[in-house]
Amino acid sequence: MHDHLLSVRNLKIEATSYPPGEPPKDITIVEGISFDLEKGKVLGLIGESGAGKSTIGLSALAYGRGGVRITGGEVLLEGKDILPLGKRGIRTIRGARVCYVAQSAAAAFNPAHKLGDQVIEATLAHGLMSEAEARKRALYLFEVLGLPNPDTFGDRFPHQVSGGQLQRAMTAMALCSNPQLIVFDEPTTALDVTTQIDVLAAIKHAIEETDTAALYITHDLAVVAQISDHIMVLRHGHMVEYGTAQQIIEAPREEYTRALVNVRQKKREEAADQTDTLLKVDNVSAGYSNGFKVLFDVSLHLPKGQTLAIVGESGSGKSTLARVITGLLPPSEGSITFDGKQLTPALKQRSRDDLRRIQLIYQMADTAMNPRQTVGQIIGRPLSFYFGLHGAKKRARVAELLEEIEMGSGFIDRYPAELSGGQKQRVAIARALAAEPELILCDEPTSALDPLVAEGILNLLLRLQAETQVSYLFITHDIAIVRAIADSVAVMHRGKLVRFGPKSKVLAPPFDDYTDLLLKSVPEMEIGWLEKALASRKMESAGN
Amino acid sequence: MRLRDVSITAWIGILGILLAFFCAIFAPWIAPFGEREIVGGVWEPMGGAYLLGTDNLGRDILSRMIFGARTTLSVAMAATIISFSLGIILSFTAAVSRGWIDQIFSRFNDLMMSIPTLIFALVVLAALPQSLIVLILVMAVLDSTRVYRLGRAVALDVAVMEFVEAAKLRGEGRIWIIFREILPNTLTPLLAEFGLRFAFSILFLSTLSFLGLGIQPPAADWGGMVKDNKDGIIFGISAALVPGGAIAALAICVNLVVDWLLKRTSSLKGGRGDA
């Protein structure tokens, strides 16, 4: 068995939960997980949140996060079980032979120290190299990871570099001690697609270059397909399917894996008639009171009963545009026309009926609902506020709305904390629907959700549109969602509108540079996509 | 809420408070002697006819304690409730409105806080007619500056949450946002502060009485009783310790209950817990 670098046998992980008003009880988070990992290979762990993938990843460092205990099985590193090593013994392994790359590099770096010092810290602490050697290795890794100005990069502080660069610096930190195994915990999830592809390519290149083995944890099958040799699909702490990346993507055996593979394949035909305009945004510019401008001269329109998708990466001004339309941030120039009538710029001057007709759904349903109100109160408030419904009538209408969002009236007295992420977002949709709006602004309502749950939400939104003829202005960074739901598309970049029109035109060549980059950066469920995308990029830059 | 969910410490607190309120309400019926009645010699020891002894004028200490609970509790409670209402309404209005309303309220609050409380109270109480209402109001206004500080800080935290923005987008008025959206989410720290402030109010009232500006003799109140009997301590007479101990015990009881409430509300489903 010594030919395997890492062997996990029958892993069982438990935690203690403390339900209010009940005695604490032990719950099993992960059970019966076994796998082998060879030197220089990458195993992708994939599953929705709560599947136990991070917990399994951390078990390779014999670490249990926040009250989690490894209660059974073995974790063999080069044939030796690391679980019974104890605190002192495991310390010689962590940071030296096995390293960890966290999801949020911004939170994982100490803002008070230079990047270079932090990258070599663990290596020096373990006495693996002299400082000069470690710095040399860091420099080499910065080069391999494609960081700009590698020789001075280490002198910068974490806030002075971008999120993608920080994530690569963290990978350099993990690779610095020349470990045998690295655990990547969703390293690209928090990044924009155009950045993600760079980081992904850098990680893949660095792994190949240094011949390190890796566990790659993610919820995005298309991402893991690019980087892994094998993939393990997890659900509720159990293994669903294990196989080579090729087999999982091209010939999944299990129902659940098939659903994951097919989740982003949905496409919708755009509406033919795009004339009956509901919302019209004319030459809108906006900025914050300190003079920082976020939107520059944006003009677009949205027909009745249709969906306009606004695409762009973080900082492109797409959420700001939604704030301008709602009146939360009055525009500095330009005007907004709604149903043939010009909207007053500021929220406070708008009539109650104007407010009712435009509703907003937030990205994070957790913070968008008052945690001290029940589902019934949350959905019921717009009913009494806009329509004066009370008592039994209101309750009946709330129950009706809960049926609409496929949840059922049993949830009426629950608090948001008792709901899952998807259910919370459904309640948020019901709250918007309760106002019987003509336009719903959706600010990335599915980006915090697992793919299958997100698909459920999208289907719900589409069904509601077909039933009530409501229009959506759908803000997203995900091209797959645009394909699935949009009639027209607006691409935004750095506060400017890059491209706007019917979906068939916007998503078809000839492209402008930015849209081209954006489209090519979206991972596809296909082995070897990453290499193809990078190659086509290189060709273009050579051509230019 | 079920009775068995109440923790033992909370029961101790509840019993202590109930006892104090019971004494306050039924004082004339349960007190063995009258409030102002001189029944024996000066500073008679505990036991015998006078369970807790007699005070510096020969009045029964137990009876005066029971009557004193009335004034002490009612004045402290009234002052705390008024100071909280005032502090919360002003601070939440400031936090929700921001801009110049916030500036005016906050700077005025700073101004009030910059004057030492006790000296401020002494000056004002010396100038104004001596009545219970004036006393309560002065205590409440001075205490509300502290409540304002805390209230504004916690409300600002909640006011930037998206559900408050959602309420604004719905077109909700300021009253709804303050009382329905923000207040329920700030109850945990405010309740903790309430317990503390109530205990401080008792102490502050006692201080004022001790200095002769609180409850006026011959009416009994715990702080005043400490003052009346303080000279006895020099002669080894423990009469002053009885009301002093009662003040301490009540303060602890209130905080035991508040601690429990705090734990309960923060573990409430969906609470913004501090756990």
Q: What is the pLDDT of residue A383?
A: 94
Does residue B80 carry a pLDDT above 90? yes
CATH number at residue A495: 3.40.50.300
Q: What is the pLDDT of residue A162?
A: 81
pTM: 0.79
> In chain B, what residues touch A382 (CB-CB under 8 Å)?
170
**B267 close to A (CB below 8 A):** yes
Residue with tokens 């109480």: B125
Q: Nearest-CA residue of chain B relative to A414?
A: B269
* CB-based contact A152:A138 (threshold 8 Å): no
Count of structural domains, chain A: 1
Asked if B171 lies within 8 A of A20 by C-beta distance, the reply is no
pLDDT 10s digits, B118-147: 899 989 888 988 888 999 999 999 999 999
What does each C-alpha distance from A324 to A42, A294, B80, B159, B233 come to in angstroms?
Answer: 46, 11, 44, 20, 72
At residue A350, what is the residue type? R
Asked if A355 lies within 8 A of B185 by C-beta distance, the reply is no
The candidate with the shortest Cα–Cα distance to B34, out of B57, B66, B72, is B66
Taking all residues of chain A, what is their mean pLDDT, rounded to a whole number?
87
**B103 close to A (CB below 8 A):** no
pLDDT 10s digits, B160-208: 888 999 999 998 888 999 999 999 888 888 888 888 888 888 888 888 8
More reliable by pLDDT, B157 or B210: B157
Q: What is the pLDDT of residue A517?
A: 86
Q: What is the pLDDT of residue A355?
A: 92
pLDDT band at A475 (very low <50, low <70, confident <90, very high): very high
Asked if A371 lies within 8 A of B270 by C-beta distance, the reply is yes
**B133 close to A (CB below 8 A):** no
Asked if A328 lies within 8 A of B169 by C-beta distance, the reply is yes
Residue A169 is assigned to a structural domain of this protein: no
Q: What is the pLDDT of residue A1?
A: 45
In a mutational test of the B interface, the residue from A289, A356, A372 whose CB has the highest number of chain B CBs within 10 Å is A372
Average pLDDT over residues B23-29: 86
Query: How far B131 CA sits from the closest chain A CA (Å)?
Result: 42
Residue A186 is assigned to a structural domain of this protein: no
Residue A367 is assigned to a structural domain of this protein: yes
DSSP classification of residue B40 = S
Residue A36 is assigned to a structural domain of this protein: no
What does each C-alpha distance from A235 to A136, A274, B260 come to in angstroms?
Answer: 42, 43, 39
pLDDT band at A132 (very low <50, low <70, confident <90, very high): very high
DSSP classification of residue A76 = E
Range of the domain at A296: 277-508
pLDDT 10s digits, B211-262: 888 888 778 888 888 888 888 888 877 778 888 898 889 888 988 888 887 7
Residue in B168, B180, B267 closest to A20 by CB: B267
Interface of B with A in 2-21 (CB under 8 A): 5
Q: Nearest-CA residue of chain B relative to A348?
A: B171
Domain assignments of chain B as residue spans, ordered by start: 3-266
Residue in A347, A364, A415 closest to B270 by CB: A415
pLDDT band at A438 (very low <50, low <70, confident <90, very high): very high
Does residue A477 carry a pLDDT above 80? yes
Q: Which CATH number fits domain B3-266: 1.10.3720.10, 2.40.10.10, 3.30.565.10, 1.10.260.40?
A: 1.10.3720.10
pLDDT 10s digits, A373-419: 999 999 999 999 999 988 899 999 999 999 988 888 888 888 888 88
Q: What is the pLDDT of residue A52?
A: 83
More reliable by pLDDT, A542 or A38: A38
Q: What is the ipTM of this complex?
A: 0.76
Residue A171 is assigned to a structural domain of this protein: no
Residue A129 is assigned to a structural domain of this protein: no
pLDDT 10s digits, A41-77: 899 999 887 788 888 888 888 888 777 888 888 898 8
Average pLDDT over residues A469-497: 90
Residue A384 is assigned to a structural domain of this protein: yes
Asked if B169 lies within 8 A of A371 by C-beta distance, the reply is no
Q: Is B236 left (phi over 0), alpha (psi -120 to 50) or beta?
A: left
> In chain A, what residues touch B6 (CB-CB under 8 Å)?
none
Q: Please, how many CA atoms are within 13 Å of residue B144, restricted to the half-sphere of its CB?
A: 24
**B171 close to A (CB below 8 A):** yes
Query: How far B167 CA sits from the closest chain A CA (Å)?
Result: 9
At residue A190, what is the residue type? A
